[in-house]
Structure 1
Amino acid sequence: MPTFNPDNVLLQDAKTGAIPEEQGTLILKETISNSVMMQLAQYEEMTKQKKTFHYLAEGVGAYWVGEGEVIQTSKPQWLKATMEAKKLGIIIPVSREFLQYSITNFFNEVRPLIAEAFYKKFDEATILNVDNPFAQSLQESVTNESHIVTGDINGDTFFELNDLVNDAGFDVNAYISKKNNRSQLRRVVDGFTQEDGTITDPVRLYNRGANTLDGAPVADLESTNMKKGELFAGNFNYVRYGIPYNLNYSISEEAQLSSMVDESGKPINLWERELMAIRATMDVGFMVLKDNAFAKIEPTTAPEGA
């Protein structure tokens, strides 16, 4: 029996199955490299839907030892966590002409669309708690811990934001913002504040060229569900994600897309419009290990341009 080769098989002859390894790998790479959460969080290898693992909650310590004294024994604290993967799916309607493409060429064409849909949906769920299937999100973490600073982004709120994380015993190693916050980020300065409100020898903590804040990277989330003036901070060593399975797909020429309507408000019928649709799915796990390792600035009111 000849070996299956996606370069030589037309899409119309293979309407369901696993996305070919090469294209699937590229989709995952594109998803991971563009996802804000996946860039910042720690990857946890998964081979099944649920994974239980141990993580280091508190590290070992060193001690000063006098001549002849016994060296104390460090007691690192290891905790157990269970992460569960959820299925993420998208449906993309495309022209029926794609049925004449090879499987390889078809996925080369739709790869950017699939990856963008995956990373945007994952980020909004895990960061903003929008349509979130997971038990946790950053928004839920800061809300549960009351780690929210209210006001504009400036030096005062920035230091208060960091204090919430530092006082819980963590260092901030990254921030999540959005591009239209950059004018506010430039107001984050360090220096001695006089009684009249002026700052002596101000030092700007935001580096626009490197997109860093006080030396830590700023990841920009492009989502209309994130308001201008919102800024997350935290230690992302305490966030995990995993991808246990290969990506899968299915093609339909006859489905009625209930979640997509035409100009008259009626669901799109693929057969009537000579279209087809690809349904692609991936399984991805996510969890926050330490809720109090995160904090957030929220504007008092939603500013213009939010």
Structure 2
Amino acid sequence: MAPITRADFEGFLDPAESAPIFNEARRGSVFQQLIRQVPLGINGQKIPVRVGQTTANWVGEAQRKPQTELGLDLLHIEPKKLAAIAVSSAEVVRANPGDIVGEIRSDLAGAFATAFDLAVAYNVGGDGTGTGPFDNYLAETTKSVTLGTASGAQGGIHADLVAGMRLLVNDGKKLRGFALDDSVEPDFWGAVDGNGHPLYVNLPTDDVSQTIARPGRLLGRPSFMGEGVGHGDVVGFGGDFSKAAWGVVGGINYRVSTEAAVTLNGSLVSLFENNLVAILAEAEYGFVVADTDAFVKYERAAAGGGD
């Protein structure tokens, strides 16, 4: 039999083959759950995003029919490359070489999901530092509420969430959903509304994995809770997620090397010398938001405040 070479593992996973990785990444991404996905080509695409309100009015006999704006704007969504390098021992590769990408699927999907959410929300890299690739991001909103502003007697977290809704409504915006970091989950489990009912309602899921974005309901709106939503003092967002869109181009490009050097724990390590194998995976994501002020950010509660 001919020996298996690195070339056997290099190339391109088409959309059908890479679907499990992208599906897992989507389930792990809070914002990919809340924001609609659109088709995306290698050269980008113009997509319609609702920016106004279409109206109709009554017309009398022989009177002129009223005009209205369609309330749509065409925005250009452009793909940006996201990459990750996974390193494994040569023994693991030899044990199952034909499924080498499958071996790292969960870790790869989690890395893609976290990097996407941090870029969409804060314009930072997948490790929480540096700069993200997209032109606009949700934390650019001028609206913010600090959880813990309202005392327990004033309504606690429920009142804080309503305060965020009021900022949106007073500006002619809509509250259609919430994205929350899992660091605030303990605060929401103990919170109640003005009638004493649980504020946060967890929706059942058939997946027990803690890496998925967990669905729930807040103020009658869909919410998703997971990693990658919080950064710095911000722990969540509420707003009109129909003002944004995301897409992914094709499948995944990947390459395998046993001879290159990679940086591990801050040091450059020779793969050949240490009997290691590196798998480089790349994909292209796009994101666009029409109106960052259609969102409100919720910041971390001050010490000793709130409910």
Compute the TM-score of the two structures, normalised by the length of structure 1. 0.80
Aligned counterpart, 1:196: none
Which one of 27, 32, 35 corresponds to residue 33 of structure 1?
27
Q: Identity of aligned pairs, percent? A: 25
Relative to structure 1, is the Cα distance of residues 106 and 174 closer, same or farther in structure 2, using a 3 angstrom cutoff? same
Q: Does 1:135 align with 2:99?
A: no
Aligned counterpart, 2:164: 161
Aligned counterpart, 1:197: none
Give the C-alpha shift of residue 40 in structure 1: 0.9
- Tell me which amino acid in the other structure corresponds to 1:94: S
Aligned counterpart, 1:149: 145
Give the C-alpha shift of residue 62 in structure 1: 2.2
- Tell me which amino acid in the other structure corresponds to 1:106: I
Looking at structure 2, the residues matched to 302 and 113 of structure 1 have their Cα atoms a distance apart, in angstroms, of 35
Aligned counterpart, 1:194: none
Aligned counterpart, 2:8: 14
Relative to structure 1, is the Cα distance of residues 213 and 274 closer, same or farther in structure 2, using a 3 angstrom cutoff? same
Q: Does 1:283 align with 2:269?
A: no
Give the C-alpha shift of residue 209 in structure 1: 5.0
Aligned counterpart, 1:233: 238
Q: Is the 8 A contact 1:181 1:229 kept in 2?
A: no
Aligned counterpart, 1:78: 72
Counterparts of residues 132-211 of structure 1 (less than 5 Å): 132-139=132-139, 141-142=140-141, 146-152=142-148, 154-186=157-189, 189-191=192-194, 201-208=195-202, 211=216
Give the C-alpha shift of residue 46 in structure 1: 1.2
Relative to structure 1, is the Cα distance of residues 219 and 10 closer, same or farther in structure 2, using a 3 angstrom cutoff? farther
Aligned counterpart, 1:214: 219
Unaligned 5+ segments in structure 2 are 126-131, 149-155, 205-215
Q: Which has the larger radius of gyration?
A: 1
How many residues are aligned here?
A: 279
Looking at structure 2, the residues matched to 9 and 76 of structure 1 have their Cα atoms a distance apart, in angstroms, of 62
Relative to structure 1, is the Cα distance of residues 10 and 301 closer, same or farther in structure 2, using a 3 angstrom cutoff? farther
Give the C-alpha shift of residue 149 in structure 1: 1.6
Aligned counterpart, 1:24: 18
Looking at structure 1, the residues matched to 201 and 103 of structure 2 have their Cα atoms a distance apart, in angstroms, of 37
Q: Is the 8 A contact 2:181 2:225 kept in 1?
A: yes
Give the 3-state SS of the residue equivalent to 2:54 in structure 1.
coil
Relative to structure 1, is the Cα distance of residues 22 and 71 closer, same or farther in structure 2, using a 3 angstrom cutoff? closer
Give the C-alpha shift of residue 289 in structure 1: 1.0
Give the 3-state SS of the residue equivalent to 1:212 in structure 2.
strand
Q: Is the 8 A contact 1:228 1:302 kept in 2?
A: no
Q: Does 1:273 align with 2:267?
A: no
Q: Does 1:50 align with 2:53?
A: no
Q: Is the 8 A contact 2:46 2:74 kept in 1?
A: yes
Give the C-alpha shift of residue 301 in structure 1: 4.0
- Tell me which amino acid in the other structure corresponds to 1:138: L
User: C-alpha offsets along residues 112-149 of structure 1, whole Å, 9 cap, x if unaligned?
Assistant: 1211111111112212332212122211x22xxx2012
Give the 3-state SS of the residue equivalent to 1:38 in structure 2.
helix
Give the C-alpha shift of residue 174 in structure 1: 1.1
Looking at structure 2, the residues matched to 37 and 94 of structure 1 have their Cα atoms a distance apart, in angstroms, of 30
Give the C-alpha shift of residue 92 in structure 1: 0.3
Give the C-alpha shift of residue 59 in structure 1: 3.6
Aligned counterpart, 2:105: 111
Q: Is the 8 A contact 2:121 2:229 kept in 1?
A: no
The Cα RMSD (Å) is 2.9
Looking at structure 1, the residues matched to 85 and 248 of structure 2 have their Cα atoms a distance apart, in angstroms, of 20
Counterparts of residues 61-100 of structure 1 (less than 5 Å): 61-66=55-60, 69-100=63-94
User: C-alpha offsets along residues 252-297 of structure 1, whole Å, 9 cap, x if unaligned?
Assistant: 1011113x13xxx632221111011000000001111111110012
Which one of 241, 246, 253 corresponds to residue 251 of structure 2?
246
Q: Is the 8 A contact 2:118 2:229 kept in 1?
A: no
Unaligned 5+ segments in structure 1 are 1-7, 192-200
